[in-house]
């Protein structure tokens, strides 16, 4: 995969998420969770990307932004390496301690987990150094610029 993309609508953003999920599923085993940090302004495509990513993991449930519940866990069907997909939204967190109380450390240490964190800058002090950061930039009503940072170093 390249590192920089321009998508013209939410379906293309979802497709990009789906492609990344397939790449991650084909990776060799890892020693801790695969963590994605989805960063960008409101409406920049983070949740659309997460929806496509979940489809790439073969998750059938509807993926919505977990802004009010903060964290949702989904079972990854029929995969030998990964069991759980966690979708976390840190927008409403006051500090890093809030996410630690939800068991974040244990979640990111488990190599059977894939974790997507929206608003990762709010917990940057406890985000793993090898997290795949994905920047979302709002260009216009439909167009987004999406850049993968740290991809390939997990």
Q: Is the pLDDT of residue 57 over 90?
A: yes
Give which of 83, 85, 50, 74 is closest to 64, Cα–Cα: 50
Count how many residues are written for the chain: 154
Q: For each of the domains in the chain, give its residue range(s) and CATH number, in order of start.
A: 12-25+33-103+115-139 (3.40.50.300)
Q: How high is the mean pLDDT of the chain? A: 90
Q: Where are the alpha helices (DSSP H) in 38-142?
A: 46-56, 96-100, 104-109
Give me the percent of the chain exceeding a pLDDT of 70.
94
């Amino acid at each position: 995969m390249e590192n920089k993309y321009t998508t013209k609508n939410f379906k293309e953003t979802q497709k990009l998420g789906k492609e990344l999920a397939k790449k991650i599923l084909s990776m060799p085993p890892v020693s801790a969770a695969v963590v994605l940090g989805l960063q960008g302004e409101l409406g920049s495509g983070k949740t659309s990307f997460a929806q496509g990513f979940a489809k790439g993991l073969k998750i059938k449930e509807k993926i919505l932004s977990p802004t009010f519940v903060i964290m949702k866990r989904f079972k990854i069907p029929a995969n030998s390496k990964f069991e759980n997909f966690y979708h976390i939204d840190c927008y409403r967190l006051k500090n890093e301690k809030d996410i630690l109380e939800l068991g974040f450390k244990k979640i990111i240490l488990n190599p059977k987990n894939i974790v997507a964190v929206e608003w990762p800058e709010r917990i940057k002090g406890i985000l793993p150094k090898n997290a795949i950061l994905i920047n979302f930039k709002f260009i216009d009503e439909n167009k987004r610029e999406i850049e993968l940072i740290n991809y390939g170093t997990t």
